[in-house]
Structure 1
C-alpha cells in the first residue's frame, strides 16, 4: 500500500476537503518537510473566499505559506545533513536569473509569480515539499509554533530594512495585527526616542507596550500625533490606513506601506507628498536578505512571536480556522493549524 499524508485541498473558493496525498520522495534539489505548525493570514482567507487576484492563486491548491517544520527527507543534490533540522522556508520561488534576482531583489522576480501555498502545494498538510535553496535553518531548540510566524516577520524585516530606522528617531506603526506587533518588536530594537502604535483594539495596544511601544492611540486619537514622526510603518491594510500613515510623518519623513487594502481605499495626496518632501515605499513579500534578518532576530530573541498566537486547531478544523481570520472578533490573534 502506497504511504500517504493528509492535506487540505481547496478545489475552488469555499470548496475545501481533507485529501490523502501520496507520500513521494523529494525531487532533485528539494526537501520534504514534516510540518509542525502553519499560520493562517488574510491572504489565505482571500484564497478561501475567492477574492485573491487570479494571477496570484491557482486552484486546486493546498494553501499555507507561513510554516515551520522538520526536514524529513532530502532529494538528489541536497545536503543530507539537513535531515532532522528545524526549518522555515521562503515562499516566493524566484528564478535567480532575471535582473532583479541577480540584484538580490528576489521578491521582485520578473518571472511568472510562483509561491508556496498559492501556485504550488503549501503547508496546510502533514508534509510540504520546497526547494532546498529556500530553507532557513533554525536553532535545534526553536519553538516551531513561534517560528511559523517568521514569514510575516520577514515581511516586516523587509519594511525595516527599507526604512533604515536610526536610534533616537520618532517612529509610528499603524495597525496592531500580527504585522504591526512584530514591527513594534523589531523597531524597538533600534532604540527609538518614541514608538507609537495606532490601533483601536485595547488588548493589542496593551501587548504593544509590552513589546516596547512608548505610546498607543486609537485612530480617533491619532490626530494629536500629526506630523510628528521621522518614520511611519503602515501594516493595517485598512481603507484609510495609508493616508493616516502619511499624516503622521514629519516634513521630509519616511513612510513604508505593507498593508494591502481592498479596492476603494482612501488615496494618498501626491501634492502633499511633494510639498512635504516625503519618501514613500511599498513592500510586498520579502527578499532573501529580509528572511535572513528575521531569522537572526528570532534567534537572538529580538522577535518573540509566540504571544501573538491565540488559536491552534487541527487540519480537520481548517474551515473553522480560516473563518476566524478576518471575522471581526477582537480576541482572535494569530491562528495556527497543527497537522
Structure 2
C-alpha cells in the first residue's frame, strides 16, 4: 500500500485481499450525518474479517472495515439538526430496525432484522469520512481527546458486561484476559472499589499496564487454579479455548460471571453440574446496546475511563496491512493500534 491516506479508504475485497482505494464519501441523506474520521481502531473481529474467520452472515465483501472510530461531524442530511456540525462524536455500529421487540425493549444489539453493522456490512471508518444514521452518534464534550475516544466502541461492549455483573464496593472481582477488552474492563470494574481486582493473563508482561488500569494483582492462567471459587464477579474477555470454563470456576458459590468471548474451538465446555451446584449466574454479551454506550461515554467524559492507556502505537491509514501484521506477529507486546487518516 502506498500514499498518505488522503481521500482514500482501505477496502478488503475478499479474505486476505486488501488495498488502498480513492474514496469519495456518500453525501448524508435524510436522517444521516457525514463524519470526518479522526482515528479508527483495529480489533480481533477486524482481523477475522481480513483472514476470513468472521462467521457467515456477519460480513459482506467487499467492505471498508472500521467499527471503532472517532471524528467530527462535517455535514448533515435533512431532518438532522445543523447544531451537530463541528461536534466531536463517536458512534454505534449496529444498524437496527428500531421497531422489533428486541429494539423496543432496548436490546438494539439483538435486533431481529438481518445483521447490519458499520465496518462489516456497511462502509466503515478505515477511511477519511464515514456516513451513518445521525441517531447512532454520541456527542463528546468540546476538546475531547479523539485518539482515546476511538476506543469507546470496545469500551461500550465491555461496559455491557460490567452492567450485567453489577458489582458493588468490597467485592472480589477478576477479569480473564489482558487484551483490549480485559484492560478496559479492569478500569471500569475498579471504579466500583472492589476489595480485589485481579487480572488473569497468559503471562505477566502486562502487569505494569494492568496495574495502571486498576488491577491489584496479575496472575497467569496456571496460577489462577489456586484461586478457584474465590471471586464474587468474574468477567471473561479472552475468547480463547477454556477461558469461559476458567471464569466459571473462579467464581464463588452464588457468584456472577459475564462471558464476552466466542472461541472458534473451545475444548473445555462449561459444566452444567458445576453451574447448578455452585448456583452461578452466567451472563453473555454480544456487542453493546445503546444503554452501554451511554455508560461508556459518561465514564470517559468523567475521567473514570482512560482508553489511551492501552494504545500501543498509531499508524497511517495507508499502513493498515502493516498494522494487521504487527497485531498477529507481536500480539504479546501490542495491545491496540490506531489508524489515522
Deviation at 1:328, TM superposition (A): 4.6
Rounded to whole Å, the distance in 2 between the matches of 1:24 and 1:180 is 35
Alpha-carbon distance between aligned partners in 1 of 2:299 and 2:194, rounded to the nearest angstrom: 17
Alignment-derived partner of residue 11 in structure 1: 13
Report matched runs for 1:293-312 at 5 Å. 293-312=295-314
SS class of match (2:19): strand
Deviations, residues 199-255 of structure 1 (Å, cap 9, x unaligned)? 123232221112221211111111121100110000001111111101100011111
* Residue in structure 2 matching 1:315, options 301, 305, 317: 317
| Alignment equivalent of 2:28, drawn from 26, 48, 51 | 26
Q: What's 1:52 paired with?
A: 54
Does residue 110 of structure 1 match 2:112? yes
- Cα offset, 1:166, TM superposition: 1.1
| Alpha-carbon distance in structure 1 between the residues aligned to 2:82 and 2:185 | 35
Residue 128 (structure 1) aligned to one of 111, 130, 150: 130
1:1-339 mapped onto 2 (5 Å cutoff): 5-339=7-341
Could you tell me how far 1:305 is from its partner in structure 2? 0.7
Q: Distance in 2 between matches of 1:264 and 1:249?
A: 19
Partner secondary structure for residue 176 of structure 1:
coil
Q: Is the alpha carbon distance of 1:23 and 1:231 closer, same or farther for their aligned partners in structure 2, counting shifts above 3 Å? A: closer
2:130 and 2:255 map into 1 onto residues whose CA distance is: 42
TM-score normalised per structure 2:
0.96
Q: Secondary structure at the match of 1:10?
A: strand
3-state DSSP class of the match of 2:270? Answer: coil
In 2, Cα distance between the equivalents of 1:8 and 1:216?
37
Q: Distance in 1 between matches of 2:277 and 2:155?
A: 33
Give a deviation string over 1:177-220, Cα, whole Å, max 9, x none.
11001000000111111111111232322211122212111111
Ranges of 4+ aligned residues in structure 1 off by more than 4 Å: none
> Within 2, Cα distance between the matches of 1:163 and 1:82?
34
Contact conserved, 2:12 with 2:65, CA < 8 A, in 1? Answer: yes
TM-score relative to the length of structure 1: 0.97
Q: Confirm or deny: 8 A CA contact 1:41 1:325 kept in the other structure.
A: no
RMSD: 1.2
Q: Residues 327 and 261 from structure 1, CA distance in 2 versus in 1: closer, same or farther, beyond 3 angstroms? A: farther
Distance 2:232 2:184 in 1: 19
SS in 1 for 2:40: strand
